[in-house]
Amino acid sequence: MTATASVGSSDLRSFLRGLPGVDKVGVEARAAALGTRSVKTSAKATAIDLAIRMVDLTTLEGADTPGKVRALCAKGRRPDPADPGCPPVAAICVYPAMVPVAAAALAGSGVHLASVATAFPSGQAPLDVKLADTRSAVEAGADEIDMVISRGAFLAGDYDRVFDEIVAVKEACGSAHLKVILETGELATYDNVRRASWLAMLAGADFIKTSTGKVAVNATLPITLVMLEAVRDFRDRHGRQVGVKPAGGIKNTKDAIKYLVMINETVGDDWLSPDWFRFGASSLLNDLLMQRTKLATGHYAGPDYFTLD
């Protein structure tokens, strides 16, 4: 079944406006309750390794250099050089200009290469520029594209424009997977997060992602819960599974495990895989490695033991 089998652009507005409203109190209470669950001993070790395998290790700074990107790729391939049993991350995420550097550094590793595109982080560019940005990144070696939606168009109610842009970018991706960034911190309401999630999935997104990491409010547990419920309900209706990627502000192991518990309790084991869930992060990996070392040796490595990103 195709993504757009049931809803075309002509009735997109009525479909999105007809989605059930989100119970703000309920979703925040459930997210808070799930955040109190604890994971101990061997289960915690398994959760930490899974979280490492779910990390999209990211550098998206104007001061990025080829050397910094190569170092990040080396870390992603082998996060703890002292422990060959430590798993690699899911992907390295960089700006399009750094894709050729990262592609060479990751060759043969099995670590995916993601590139932000479509005038990240604002999304404020003509469609032809966004498509050229996407094609260039894919041709240079990216096998995942993280695009941003036009939030202004979405908030103005121009759902068809947002839908059509995602469809066009998906086509420009070719065989590369498409992660659609909703920038939930700018969408204002949980209802808008649900609508944007469904819109992106109907247009063909392989993943829906919370944030660019460049605004004041990024990933939160309640927002991610709304998105997880959306991908669950979308699969029930359309038979296609879509991944979820919270990004921005997830900095420590305790928080990462809260997200894993939420996945297990909301959508089940099917999403407990880097194929279907990712953390967009730069500093999270170091804390995961420190906690992993603590479980294995009984003491913490110093904060400068692992490279800073």
pLDDT at residue 282 in the model: 85
Work out the percent of the chain whose per-residue pLDDT is above 70.
94
Q: What is the mean pLDDT of residues 221-235?
A: 98
Active-site pick, 80, 133, 143, 146: 146
pLDDT at residue 42 in the model: 77
Distance of CA 115 to the CA centre of its chain: 12
305 pLDDT more than 50? yes
Count of CB atoms situated within 10 Å of the CB of 110: 8
298 pLDDT more than 80? no
163 vs 42 pLDDT, higher one? 163
Distance of CA 103 to the CA centre of its chain: 20
Collect all residues with Cβ–Cβ distance below 8 Å to 1 and sequence separation of at least 6: 238, 239, 240
Is 245 marked active-site? yes
Work out the percent of the chain whose per-residue pLDDT is above 90.
86
Is 179 marked active-site? no
Q: What is the C-alpha R_g of the chain?
A: 19
Is 258 marked active-site? no
Q: Residue for token digits 């079944």?
A: 1
pLDDT at residue 302 in the model: 60
State the chain's mean pLDDT as an integer: 93
Say if residue 97 is exposed, middle or buried (CB neighbours under 10 Å; 0-12, 13-18, 19+).
middle
Say if residue 228 is exposed, middle or buried (CB neighbours under 10 Å; 0-12, 13-18, 19+).
buried
Confidence of residue 33 (pLDDT cuts 50, 70, 90): very high
pLDDT at residue 1 in the model: 33
308 pLDDT more than 60? no
198 pLDDT more than 80? yes
Confidence of residue 59 (pLDDT cuts 50, 70, 90): very high
Confidence of residue 160 (pLDDT cuts 50, 70, 90): very high
pLDDT at residue 127 in the model: 96
Q: What is the mean pLDDT of residues 212-232?
A: 94
Q: What is the mean pLDDT of residues 23-28?
A: 97
Active-site pick, 143, 245, 258, 287: 245
126 pLDDT more than 50? yes
Global confidence as pTM: 0.93
96 pLDDT more than 50? yes
N residues, the chain: 309
pLDDT at residue 237 in the model: 96
233 pLDDT more than 80? yes
114 pLDDT more than 60? yes
Residue 41's SS3 state is helix
Cα-Cα-Cα-Cα dihedral sign, residues 120, 208, 185, 53 = negative
pLDDT at residue 4 in the model: 47
Confidence of residue 201 (pLDDT cuts 50, 70, 90): very high
Active-site pick, 209, 255, 258, 287: 209
Confidence of residue 141 (pLDDT cuts 50, 70, 90): very high
Type and span of the H or E element at 177: strand 177-181
pLDDT at residue 10 in the model: 64
